[in-house]
C-alpha cells in the first residue's frame, strides 16, 4: 500500500493571494475538488476554475463583516476527522460530511497592520480567528490532512499531489511549520495587546508580558569558537542586519555578525553627519565624522591603524568610490552600508574575501534589547543617546571657561562616540575623530591610561569623554597630566567636588551631563 495519501478535496482560504491561481488551476487539473471562502473563492471563480463556496458546505452565510466564515462544524469536522479510524469515517458518513485532505491558508496581516500605524480598531480587525483555528485543526490532524501556510510551497504542493499525495513525513513537517506560523502570529497579537491594555497604570516602561519568535535564516560554521554550534535567526520582518543583503565575499561568521551589529549602531549615533565606525571584538578601534564618507573613513582608520587590521567597517551613508578605494587598501573583514555608489562595489569586489553587506531602509532606532541569564532574560530599552543629558545645551559647566564652538563640537562627538565603547570607557577625540580609546577596563584609571597610550602625541589638546563618573580624581589626573583640553562626564560621584577641583587646578573646563552610558 502506498504511503502517500491522495488529495481529493482541498479547502483554500488565504489573505496573501500570491500564486493562488496557479495553485487552484493545478489542483483542478489533478481532479481535486476545491472549497474556498470569500474573496479567495471569488478570485478562483473569476479565473474560470470550478470552486465550491464554503457557504454551500456549511449552509450558513458569511456574516459580521467576514468575521464568521469557516467557524462551523461542517468545516472543522472535515479537517479534524482522523480517517485512519473506522469510527470517525462512520461518523462522517452519518453526518454527511466529506473530509478534507488539504488545507491551504495564510492569515490576516496583523503585524504589518500594526507597523503601518493603523488605529487600534483597524488592528483588532486584522486579528484572524477562523484562519488559525483551521490551521491548528489541520496540523493536529496531520496524519490525515496536509496543511500549507506558505505560498512559496505551492509548486511543491502540486508536485506532491501529482505524485499521488503527501507522505506522512511531509505532513508532519507541514504541521510543525503550521504550528510555528500560528505561534508567531499569536505572540505578535499577545505582545501588542499587552502594550495596549496593560494591567498597570500605563506608565510602565516594560510590558507585563512579552514574547518573541525567530526563524532560522542560516546555520553558521560555528559560534564564537569552533567548538560552539551557531545559527542566525531572524524575526518575522527580517530587517536590519539579520535581513542584510550580502553582495560579495565569504560566508558571514558569528563574530562577523556581532561586530557588524556593533559597527552599524556606532555609525548611526551621530545623526546625518557622514560617520564611519571600525570595530574589533565589538569595540570601536576607530570612529569619526567627516565632510564625506571618505574623509570619515580616513579619520576613523587613523584612530588605531594597527587594531583596524581585520576590522569591520560600517558607514551611515552611501559608500563612495573614494572610500571604496581606501578600504580596498586595508585588510577588512566586513563592510556594512545602506548603499554603494556606482563603481564602488567593483573596487571592493577586487578583494576576494571581504564581505559586503547592504542594509536598505530606515535604521530602527527604538526597540528593546534582550540578554539571556540563567533561568530568564533581562530586557531593557535600547540606549539611543537621546536622553536629556545627551544634548550639549543641557550640560552643566562646573569649572573653567566655556569651551569654544570647535571644542564643544568635539566634546559632543566624543560623548556620542563613547556610547559604543565597552565600560569602563574613556574616549579621546580631536577634529571629529577618536584619537585614543580605553575600553573594557575594570577601573577608570586603567581606561584613562590605555586611551592616553593609544593616542600618543595626539592626546595634547584633545577632549575626553567618560561613559560614567570618575569615582576618584586619579583617573582624571592621568588625562590632565597628558594635556587634554576639555572633559565631559556624567558626574554623580560622592567625590565630584574633588574631581572638579582637579580640573579647576589644571584650568581645564569640565561639563557634566547627568546621563550615564555604561555598555557591558
Which residue spans within 201-337 are E strands per DSSP?
215-220, 230-234, 245-248, 275-280, 283-289, 311-315, 332-337
Please state the length of the chain.
Answer: 520
Q: 56 with 98: CB under 8 angstroms?
A: no
Give bridge partners of residue 314 from the DSSP assignment.
277, 336
Q: 409 with 261: CB under 8 angstroms?
A: no
Q: Could you identify the residue written with the cell 535604521?
A: 363
> Which amino acids are annotated catalytic?
140, 281
Kindly give, in sequence order, each residue whose CB lies less than 8 Å from that of residue 158, ignoring residues fewer than 6 positions away: 22, 23, 26, 27, 30
Q: 486 with 512: CB under 8 angstroms?
A: no
Of 22, 13, 51, the closest CA to residue 161 belongs to 22
Q: How far apart are CA 311 and CA 284, in angstroms?
A: 9
Q: How many CB atoms lie within 10 A of CB 4?
A: 16
Of 102, 55, 95, the closest CA to residue 77 belongs to 95
DSSP character at residue 392? G
Q: How far apart are CA 307 and CA 325, in angstroms?
A: 20
Q: How far apart are CA 332 and CA 431, in angstroms?
A: 24
- Give the number of C-alpha atoms closer than 13 A to the C-alpha of residue 355, restricted to the C-beta side: 22
Amino acid at each position: 500500500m502506498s504511503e502517500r495519501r491522495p488529495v481529493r478535496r482541498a479547502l483554500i482560504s488565504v489573505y496573501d493571494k500570491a500564486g493562488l491561481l496557479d495553485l487552484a488551476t493545478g489542483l483542478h487539473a489533478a481532479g481535486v475538488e476545491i472549497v474556498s471562502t470569500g474573496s479567495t473563492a471569488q478570485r478562483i471563480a473569476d479565473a474560470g476554475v470550478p470552486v465550491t463556496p464554503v457557504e454551500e458546505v456549511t449552509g450558513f452565510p458569511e456574516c459580521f463583516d467576514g468575521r464568521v466564515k469557516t467557524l462551523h462544524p461542517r468545516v472543522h469536522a472535515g479537517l479534524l476527522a482522523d480517517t485512519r479510524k473506522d469510527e470517525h469515517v462512520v461518523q462522517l458518513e452519518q453526518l454527511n460530511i466529506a473530509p478534507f485532505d488539504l488545507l491551504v491558508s495564510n492569515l490576516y496581516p496583523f503585524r504589518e497592520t500594526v507597523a503601518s500605524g493603523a488605529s487600534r480598531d483597524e488592528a483588532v480587525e486584522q486579528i484572524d480567528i477562523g484562519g488559525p483555528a483551521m490551521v491548528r485543526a489541520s496540523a493536529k490532524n496531520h496524519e490525515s490532512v496536509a496543511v500549507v501556510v506558505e505560498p512559496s510551497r505551492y509548486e511543491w504542493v502540486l508536485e506532491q499531489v501529482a505524485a499521488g499525495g503527501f507522505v506522512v513525513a511531509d505532513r508532519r513537517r507541514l504541521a510543525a511549520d503550521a504550528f510555528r506560523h500560528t505561534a508567531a502570529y499569536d505572540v505578535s497579537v499577545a505582545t501588542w495587546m499587552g502594550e495596549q491594555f496593560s494591567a498597570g497604570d500605563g506608565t510602565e516602561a516594560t510590558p507585563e508580558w512579552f514574547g518573541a519568535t525567530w526563524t532560522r535564516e542560516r546555520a553558521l560554521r560555528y559560534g564564537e569558537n569552533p567548538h560552539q554550534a551557531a545559527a542566525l535567526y531572524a524575526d518575522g520582518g527580517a530587517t536590519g542586519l539579520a535581513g542584510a543583503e550580502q553582495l560579495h565575499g565569504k560566508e558571514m561568521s558569528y563574530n562577523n555578525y556581532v561586530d557588524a551589529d556593533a559597527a552599524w549602531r556606532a555609525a548611526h549615533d551621530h545623526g546625518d553627519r557622514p560617520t564611519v565606525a571600525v570595530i574589533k571584538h565589538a569595540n570601536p578601534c576607530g570612529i569619526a565624522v567627516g565632510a564625506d564618507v571618505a574623509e570619515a573613513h580616513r579619520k576613523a582608520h587613523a584612530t588605531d591603524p594597527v587594531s583596524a587590521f581585520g576590522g569591520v567597517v560600517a558607514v551611515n551613508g552611501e559608500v563612495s568610490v573614494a572610500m571604496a578605494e581606501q578600504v580596498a587598501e586595508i585588510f577588512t573583514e566586513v563592510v556594512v552600508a545602506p548603499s554603494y555608489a556606482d563603481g564602488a562595489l567593483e573596487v571592493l569586489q577586487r578583494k576576494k574575501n571581504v564581505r559586503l553587506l547592504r542594509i536598505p531602509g530606515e535604521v530602527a532606532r527604538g526597540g528593546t534589547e534582550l540578554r539571556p541569564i540563567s533561568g530568564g532574560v533581562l530586557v531593557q530599552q535600547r540606549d539611543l543617546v537621546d536622553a536629556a543629558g545627551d544634548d550639549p545645551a543641557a550640560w552643566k559647566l562646573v569649572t573653567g571657561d566655556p569651551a569654544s564652538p570647535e571644542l564643544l563640537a568635539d566634546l559632543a562627538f566624543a560623548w556620542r562616540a563613547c556610547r559604543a565603547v565597552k565600560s569602563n570607557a574613556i574616549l579621546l577625540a580631536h577634529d571629529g575623530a577618536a584619537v585614543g580609546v580605553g575600553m573594557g577596563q575594570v577601573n577608570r584609571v586603567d581606561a584613562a591610561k590605555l586611551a592616553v597610550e593609544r593616542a600618543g602625541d595626539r592626546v595634547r589638546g584633545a577632549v575626553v569623554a567618560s561613559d560614567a563618573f570618575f569615582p576618584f580624581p586619579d583617573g582624571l589626573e592621568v588625562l590632565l597630566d597628558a594635556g587634554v583640553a576639555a572633559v565631559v562626564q556624567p558626574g554623580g560621584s560622592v567625590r565630584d567636588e574633588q574631581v572638579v577641583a582637579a580640573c579647576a587646578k589644571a584650568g581645564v573646563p569640565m561639563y557634566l551631563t547627568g546621563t550615564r552610558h555604561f555598555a557591558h
